[in-house]
Structure 1
């Protein structure tokens, strides 16, 4: 973490963090908000491939949810990244992504990170392209899901797959 986050702790999410993660996602006003139930399940079933940033009181102020792709066991798919508005602009998302990649690299021999980003989400585009640069890894992009793939059609932007890798070391 940078000097601005010295007081923050990167941790593995717990079920009791689910409600806070849901609130942070909701308040981001940019993420597709999942049900509160899904955040509880995520904190239970995918805690090992996710990260939460905690303030001095231990309260969640940011998170990344992810999972290992079953057919690609060295690939981490990053599902959502969110930082509480009070903590934005401090490099916290990058610190969480670096820390998560390192931890998952140790446990799963991580070689690739994938995520999807809707066009125009410049904060996410910068987060993942700068991660690729820091780790000396190529970043390929392709449309994974077009507008026509979504049941609500034009109500959803396309999702562009960012594939970062191969990472140069298992610990990223």
Structure 2
């Protein structure tokens, strides 16, 4: 077991004693939107989109709940239509007070364990901006834990975005994953 795997196992053990990982419900949409807003690094979508996400993409998304059942972290994803063996991770965020406990990694591991078995997913894609060190570390560690290859390439140049101040979105392609 590598040091990264041991750290994650310890974080999972702490997490499992205190919280649960669950499929999101529509009523979680507002809390998920607030967690994304307060992350200060994610592109914030409309609150409406988070409600839709909890309804239409619940099978490919997860929330971590505190002892009272309130969401404290989430991962949202969808199956890529042109590549049905690929899970696209849209967003991962952890409430400020819960960071540093391995929740993001635990959510990614749990989600991919579910979708590899249920949906036949063999690869994960996500995009990360060059300044998002936390996401780079999260997905690099994820690939290493799963013994998967990580390939990076620019998916969308910054000038494609209408506001003109967006950094490029770098595609991270991770796979193959085993069931």
TM-score scaled to structure 2, two decimals? 0.92
Look up the match of 2:174. 164
TM-score scaled to structure 1, two decimals? 0.95
Look up the match of 2:100. 89
Quick check: 1:145 aligned with 2:117?
no
Which 4+ residue blocks in structure 1 deviate beyond 6 angstroms?
none
Deviations 1:115-138 (A, max 9, x none): 000002111001001010000000
Q: CA deviation at 1:166?
A: 1.1
Look up the match of 2:41. 30
Deviations 1:77-131 (A, max 9, x none): 0000000001000010000000000011111111100000000211100100101
Aligned-partner SS, 2:28: helix
Aligned-partner SS, 1:33: coil
Look up the match of 2:66. 55
Look up the match of 1:39. 50
**CA RMSD between the two structures:** 0.8
Q: Report the Cα distance in structure 2 between the residues aligned to 1:112 and 1:55, rounded to whole angstroms.
A: 30
Unaligned runs of 5+ in 2: 1-10
Unaligned runs of 5+ in 1: none
Aligned-partner SS, 1:130: helix
Q: Give 1 or 2: higher helix fraction.
A: 2
Q: Report the Cα distance in structure 2 between the residues aligned to 1:148 and 1:62, rounded to whole angstroms.
A: 31
Look up the match of 1:125. 136
Q: CA deviation at 1:4?
A: 2.5
